[in-house]
Structure formats: C-alpha cells, structure tokens
A and B are shown apart, each in its own frame.
Chain A
Amino acid sequence: DSGVTQTPKHLITATGQRVTLRCSPRSGDLSVYWYQQSLDQGLQFLIQYYNGEERAKGNILERFSAQQFPDLHSELNLSSLELGDSALYFCASSVDPAGGPGYNEQFFGPGTRLTVL
C-alpha cells in the first residue's frame, strides 16, 4: 500500500459526460501528479500541483482540468468525454522540497479505470 488513495476504482460513463476523479496523497506529501495510461500510449504525465498551485502541465487536453485543495487532496475533472479518453488514470504524490522542483520518488495510487461508452 503506497498510502495514496484514489476513488472511484472504476467508472463507466457515456460520451459527452463529465466525471471527477479524486486523489488523496500520502500524509506529508505536498505534490500531486496525474498520469494517464492508455493501451497505446503508456504512462503520460498530465499535470502537477504543489501545495495548492499548478506546477507543471503535460499533454493535458483543454477538456481536462485539475485542482488541489487546502487539505492537499486533488481532483481531476474530465468533460465532454470521448471514446478515446478511456484509460487508467493514476495519481502520484511526492514530498518535494519546499520551493524546489521535486526529485523525490513518486508514489502511485491504485488508479481509476475510466470506460467511456
């Protein structure tokens, strides 16, 4: 158990809908990262939040957004869903030295499997 929790574990929805994925980082970790794993793309970085602020963006679609709350949990919002958004979505957390880019190891949650029908 990495200490990172993600809910829900599975999500099945229809095209055009909007969903919210939730992540709670390990106790003490300030950084939260979101990754997408699809069959043909491997693990792709989406976005990072550090202590409530957006730190880095990857290949995240405009239809997707995220935020990190004062209690450090994070939510990833996916809207106008398309068939191609079906994937595993992982959240990871790391301590990160305050004020600096993170080099600490990232610990991953179990993931949310999203199926868009």
Chain B
Amino acid sequence: DQQVKQNSPSLSVQEGRISILNCDYTNSMFDYFLWYKKYPAEGPTFLISISSIKDKNEDGRFTVFLNKSAKHLSLHIVPSQPGDSAVYFCAASARDNQGGKLIFGQGTELSVKP
C-alpha cells in the first residue's frame, strides 16, 4: 500500500512558466511533509518542507501548499528554469515513537525547456 503517491511520472514546462508538482497521501497521521530534488547519480537534495499546522510555506521560487482535508500537497516553482530539470520527490513523516523516517512518493521527472 503506497501511502504517498505522485501520480504524474513526468512533467514538461516552458522556461519562465510555473511548474506544479502534485502529491497525495493516505495516512492521516502524517504531519510533516518535504520535497526533495534529485539529479542522476546524486543523492536527494532537500528543497522545502511544511508542517501540518500550516497550509503554505514559501522559499524563494518554491512554494508548497498543503490541503489536509484533501490529503494533498503541491510544489509550485515560479519561474521555472532549465536548471530545475530533475526528479522531484514528495515525502511525509508521522509524529510517533518511530523516529523521523520518511515515506517517499515515486517521484515526478520535471523537464524545463528553454
């Protein structure tokens, strides 16, 4: 049972436009969400996170929106740049005694075309 889902395996966007990456989750115990970016042959790089007590967090060109009732979060990148081309992973964590393990989605490959 996949608790975190990224239903779009790929997304293509024109440079300068907005990129919107989506993520859905099923476990209502998740209370912390993160986005990671991954280039080939490198480890995931932390981008931005959001706690379940918020519905929006912004950091420069990156904004994450959380809709708890829909169990949905999205990452907006504005404006998109060719260097943003990478695989983006959504991850979630639950407040429990099990530490801070992250449950990852399958990833969305973003391609930003010049």
Contact = CB atoms under 8 A, between A and B. Distances in A.
B43 A108 contact: yes
B43 to A, nearest CB: 4
B45 A2 contact: yes
Interface residues of A, number: 29
Interface in A37-58: 42-45, 48, 50, 55-56, 58
Nearest to B4: A42
Contacts, number: 76
B49 A105 contact: yes
Given A101-B95, A103-B32, A105-B34, A94 B100 contact: yes
Given A42-B106, A45-B103, A105-B34, A56 B46 contact: no
B102 A110 contact: no
Given A90-B43, A90-B44, A109-B43, A103 B104 contact: no
B31 to A, nearest CB: 8
Q: Which of B32, B44, B46, B103 has the most CB of A within 10 A?
A: B44
Nearest to B43: A108
Interface residues of B, number: 27
B4 to A, nearest CB: 9
**What secondary structure prevails in chain B residues at the interface with A?**
loop
Contact of A101 (B36, B98, B104, B107): B98
A75 interface: no
Interface of A: 2, 4, 31, 33, 35, 42-45, 48, 50, 55-56, 58, 90, 92, 94, 96, 101-111
18 contacts: A2-B45, A4-B43, A33-B100, A33-B101, A42-B89, A45-B102, A45-B103, A55-B99, A56-B98, A56-B101, A101-B99, A103-B100, A104-B100, A106-B46, A108-B43, A108-B44, A108-B46, A110-B43
Given A43-B91, A56-B98, 6 more contacts: A42-B89, A50-B99, A101-B99, A106-B34, A106-B100, A110-B41
Interface of B: 32, 34, 36, 41-46, 49, 51, 89, 91, 93, 95-107
